[in-house]
Structure 1
Amino acid sequence: MTDPYRILVTGSRDWADMDSVYANLATAVFQHLPAVIVHGACPTGADAQAAWWVRMHGQTLGVTEERHPANWRPDGKLDRSAGFRRNAEMVALGADLCLAFIRNGSPGASHTARLAEAAGIPTRRITAYPAA
């Protein structure tokens, strides 16, 4: 276990269930303080919800945030693999736990969860699908 405890959050850009992000973070964090929440800095979905949770509770609990935005346009052209490279970099930095919020089989969040599992990081997959 690292000090501080590292929680890697990955999730779909369209993840809408804030309560599940908040509950899973609270459960993991309250068992392991101090903690750092690592995420891909997407402005929507699970990353944004995790960032918001840290802003609301982090200072009180001793939880910090580590943001890893993807470099989508390194030379002015769209680089569609930037998110996958960023995901691999986050996993390579190590974590004690990966929380993966996967909606509709999200390729990016699923990719990160697979990499985390292959790296031996305990991974919790929380999944959602649209109503039928």
Structure 2
Amino acid sequence: MSDERKAPAAARFRVLVTGSRTWRQGDLIDRALSALRVEHGSLVVVHGACPSGADGYASAWVMRMAAIGRDVVEEYYPANWAKFGDAAGPIRNRAMVDLGADLVLAFIRDGSPGATQCARYAESRGLLVRRVLA
């Protein structure tokens, strides 16, 4: 049993992960999230629920941390492609940003339009954004 206490959701550092579906450097995502967990203790990791790329790596990291008793929770918001078609990604990204975050980590490969748009929108809403480019 872990001796770490669970923080209330409001006390957890909230990080939104956005990134390319073709992102392949999971180690960079692992290191970034691990550093935030060490710094802040408790995390909420928000992502767009794409099984590949940055979202998939972020989700896998949360599962590994939760399995060893770390105070890390996941919020995921899949795009509704059936209802919104090509607009589904941007609609979902804006909704995630509008929920707020202490930090946005944007893992952008080959100028990914979705992750780039999400990062720009987050900045326009006053959120702190860190971009990692590949």
Q: TM-score, normalised by structure 2?
A: 0.89
User: How far did 1:49 drift?
Assistant: 0.2
2:66 maps to amino acid: G
SS in structure 1 of the partner of residue 97 of structure 2: helix
Distance across 1 between alignment mates of 2:37 and 2:130: 14
Unaligned runs of 5+ in 1: none
Distance across 2 between alignment mates of 1:29 and 1:88: 25
Unaligned runs of 5+ in 2: 1-9
User: How far did 1:33 drift?
Assistant: 2.2
SS in structure 1 of the partner of residue 115 of structure 2: helix
Structure 1: which 4+ aligned runs deviate by more than 3 Å? Answer: none
Matches of residues 24-39 of structure 1 in structure 2 within 5 Å?
A: 24-39=32-47
Distance across 1 between alignment mates of 2:40 and 2:66: 13
2:81 is the alignment partner of 1:89? no
2:109 maps to amino acid: R
Q: What is the aligned counterpart of 1:109 among 88, 102, 115? A: 115
Matches of residues 1-132 of structure 1 in structure 2 within 5 Å?
A: 3-59=11-67, 60-74=69-83, 79-128=85-134
Alignment identity in percent?
48
User: How far did 1:58 drift?
Assistant: 2.6
Distance across 2 between alignment mates of 1:82 and 1:30: 34
Distance across 2 between alignment mates of 1:4 and 1:86: 22
2:54 maps to amino acid: A
Q: TM-score, normalised by structure 1?
A: 0.90
User: How far did 1:30 drift?
Assistant: 1.5
Distance across 1 between alignment mates of 2:101 and 2:41: 14
Distance across 2 between alignment mates of 1:70 and 1:118: 21
Distance across 2 between alignment mates of 1:18 and 1:104: 16
SS in structure 2 of the partner of residue 80 of structure 1: helix
Q: What's the RMSD between the two structures over aligned residues?
A: 1.1
